[in-house]
Amino acid sequence: MAGSMQHIKRRMRSVESTRKITHAMELVATSKLRKVRRQLDEMKPYYTLTSEVVAEILSQSDVSSHPYLKGRQNDRAALLVVDSSLGLCGGYHTNALKCALDAYHEGDLVYLLGSRGASSFPGAQRQYEDLVTSLDFMEVSHLVKELLKQYEDQEIGVIRMVYTEFVNNMTFVPHCIDLLPVQKEHVALQEAKQTSLTEFEPNAYEVLDDLIPMYLKATIYGYLIESVTSENASRRISMENATDNAGEILDELRLSYNQARQNAITNEISEIVAGSNIE
């Protein structure tokens, strides 16, 4: 009986230690979520506005021959995959990776933003994988410059991105979107202000030359922040659930320990009573 009680006490100490760790990680994830959520709230109006301006040009001008809008014969895609560099984030990594694998075609050039998907894409370009921790806009600018050069040199025909939409603190949805060539259904046509015609100087075609790189930088950076927000929210939920589960296990172990202790005391009393009766 004493051995059983000691075993239960060891398990209780182990579970309590685990509970403290998961609770600490929950607090860290909550803090990171609060910080990156502020960044998302600040960034979202900007990348939404750039999308609206692109939508307005598409709705008012005939720019279908522009190379950033016109499809290429080259079907090879540059696939940007926003994943995690850390674990313990629930289904976030699995869902993002599944979406990326569904979008991938043999020969595509993969850019990993986050390192956990490296085993699934061993030949991926990984020089930008730290973006999920740094959230450096200048690095995104360098990435866009590299992608546009490959697009203009016809090394690739599509720029595609896998990211995770942050719906709310409990819901995160992975998406795959073609960023280039720009497609009408992927910009905010429904939000574009159609109240009056806008004049573009010198003309809409040349405005797109400068606007599309801005649109790509803003959109990629915005989706990156949105994915990191989803990751931290998912990790917070996972650690909260782990902490709650550890608490439940601890309660069960305490009950088992108390029952074992009560049985041990009862047995001792019974032995004392039996001994006194013999005398």
pLDDT, tens digit (0-9, with 9 covering 90-100), for 240-254: 999 999 999 998 988
Q: How far apart (Å, rounded) are the C-alpha atoms in residues 246 and 252?
A: 10
What is the distance between the alpha carbons of residues 178 and 183, in angstroms, rounded to a whole number? 8
Closest CA to 231 of 178, 165, 177: 165
Residue 226's pLDDT band, with cuts at 50, 70 and 90, is very high
Which residues sit opposite 112 in a β-bridge? 81
C-alpha–C-alpha distance, residues 211 and 191, integer Å: 18
**pTM, entire model:** 0.85
pLDDT bracket for residue 5 (50, 70, 90): confident
- Tens of pLDDT, residue by residue over 27-54, are 999 999 999 999 999 998 888 888 888 8
Which is it for strands 158-168 and 77-82: parallel, antiparallel or unpaired?
Answer: parallel
Please tell me which residue, 91 or 161, carries the higher pLDDT value: 161
Determine the distance from the C-alpha atom of residue 279 to the mean position of all C-alpha atoms in its chain, rounded to a whole number. Answer: 75
Question: Considering the domain 2-17+239-273 in this protein, what is its CATH number?
Answer: 1.10.287
What radius of gyration do the chain's Cα atoms show? 28
pLDDT single digits (tens) 183-207: 766 665 444 455 456 777 777 778 8
- Residue 162: the pLDDT is 96
Average pLDDT, the chain: 86
Higher pLDDT, 9 or 161: 161
Cα separation of 57 and 55, whole Å? 5
- A 10 A CB-CB count for 264 gives 14
Q: Are 185 and 105 in contact (CB under 8 A)?
A: no
pLDDT for res 264 = 74
Mean pLDDT value across residues 11-18: 90
Residue ranges per domain, the chain?
2-17+239-273, 21-235
- The CATH code for residues 21-235 is 3.40.1380.10
Which range of 47-56, 112-121, 210-219 scores highest in mean pLDDT? It is 210-219
Give the containing element (helix H, strand E) for 36: helix 2-60
Phi, psi of 158 (to 5 degrees): -145, 140
The neighbouring-strand residues paired with 246 are: none
Ramachandran angles phi, psi of 63, nearest 5°: -120, 25
